[in-house]
Structure 1
Amino acid sequence: MDHLTVVDHPLVQHKLTIMRDEATSTAEFRRLLREISQLLAYEVTRELPMTTKKIKTPMVEMDAPTLAGRKLALVSILRAGNGLLDGMLELVPSARVGFVGLYRDEETLEPVQYYFKAPSELNDRLVIAVDPMLATGNSSAAAIDLLKKEGAQNIRFLCLLAAPEGVARMKEAHPDVPIVTAALDERLNEKGYILPGLGDAGDRMFGTR
């Protein structure tokens, strides 16, 4: 799976184990999701374009490395994507932010759109779409469809957990979009939830049912 990167850093895996535990509180789950998103962000932004600018240190002048091009765009797939978004914004506070509102029809497992707002000039930005769970892949593929229609050309997808079914669906729909995740789990159950998974990420973030 050359389009899939699993971040196996010990801190990522340790924090993910705590998040999977059903005994972990809502507050702790939110805190860990924010922390793990920052660790995943290092991987998904690894190839950001660079240039140099002249600065003066307390010692000498130098040509120092700095980010090049337009500021990247972070796009949260609501509602659970906001948990990853918050942590990434702490790392990249100048990023532009967009939102895709989708919910999954529990009968068909197909995505239903209810909101979409994207930054301008997506064609000139690295766009990182974020959603904790890549389950069936239908909502993620639909979100990428919307971003491409807005002109996005350089897109990456960041998630906490992925199922093989979702990875395959994304590869089929958007083979040009790399996926970065903390774990590739076993499979989906009959209701489209990831196994072993961690339950519904949104519910665990916000304490809802």
Structure 2
Amino acid sequence: MKDHLTIVKHPLIQHKLTMMRQKDTTTAVFRQLLREISQLLAYEVTRELPMTTRTIDTPLCPMDAPVLDGRKLALISILRAGNGLLDGMLELIPSARVGFVGLYRDEATLQPVQYYYKVPDHLGERLVIAVDPMLATGNSSAAAIDLLKASGATNIRFLCLLAAPEGVARMKEAHPDVPIVTAALDERLNEKGYIVPGLGDAGDRMFGTK
């Protein structure tokens, strides 16, 4: 992927995102919409996967047919909200290897604090897609990418539902080699580090917590 930031403006994605933004959307509907959008975004973020061919037999004749090449890609969920994107993507790419980065944002400093890290082996030989619905300050995302690179990952993409200009700038500064794919670039962050207009706290809305 050549562009640092790709905004996927597919009509179905934009329509579903509008439904997710509405404050009266229920937890169950929010979760289902996120699953559906994640599959549509997965189509974009995996657009340039390496391919090879293998010989197969159709009901009529043999043919050389295209198949994915190399090691299975790795999906890395930035906990906890990343699991909402992960679930939908796994339905589309069930053979993917899965990892988890546990980070929470210190509400006073807005800086990420790590509490869990478990990823597949051979990251350097895989396409690694890190997923988190919200790219807000970018601090947690940049920290997660730091950890993945320390584990050997070199081909990394970041997939999110919403991004703020501040988060995109932070990621570009920290990791200019990591393309970002998102459904929308919103206006700004508020004083608490939330994306505006945004959709609130994605984790709380997904899991029904406050």
TM-score by length of 1: 0.99
Paired AA for residue 144 in structure 1: I
Deviation at 1:2, TM superposition (A): 3.1
CA distance in 2, matches of 1:9, 1:59: 37
SS at the partner of 1:11?
helix
SS at the partner of 2:40?
helix
1:8-157 correspondence runs (5 A): 8-157=9-158
CA distance in 2, matches of 1:17, 1:147: 32
CA distance in 1, matches of 2:3, 2:188: 19
Residues 139-169 of structure 1, C-alpha deviations (whole Å, 9 max, x = no match): 0000000000000000000000000000000
Partner of 2:166: 165
Structure 2: gaps (5+ residues): none
CA distance in 2, matches of 1:5, 1:23: 29
CA distance in 2, matches of 1:116, 1:145: 12
Paired AA for residue 134 in structure 1: L
Deviation at 1:125, TM superposition (A): 0.1
Structure 1: gaps (5+ residues): none
1:170-181 correspondence runs (5 A): 170-181=171-182
Deviation at 1:60, TM superposition (A): 1.0
SS at the partner of 2:100?
strand
Partner of 1:2: 3
CA distance in 2, matches of 1:24, 1:53: 46
Residues 15-70 of structure 1, C-alpha deviations (whole Å, 9 max, x = no match): 00000000100000000000000000000000000000000101111000000000
Paired AA for residue 78 in structure 1: L
CA distance in 1, matches of 2:153, 2:4: 18
CA distance in 2, matches of 1:52, 1:172: 38
Paired AA for residue 207 in structure 1: G
SS at the partner of 2:65?
strand
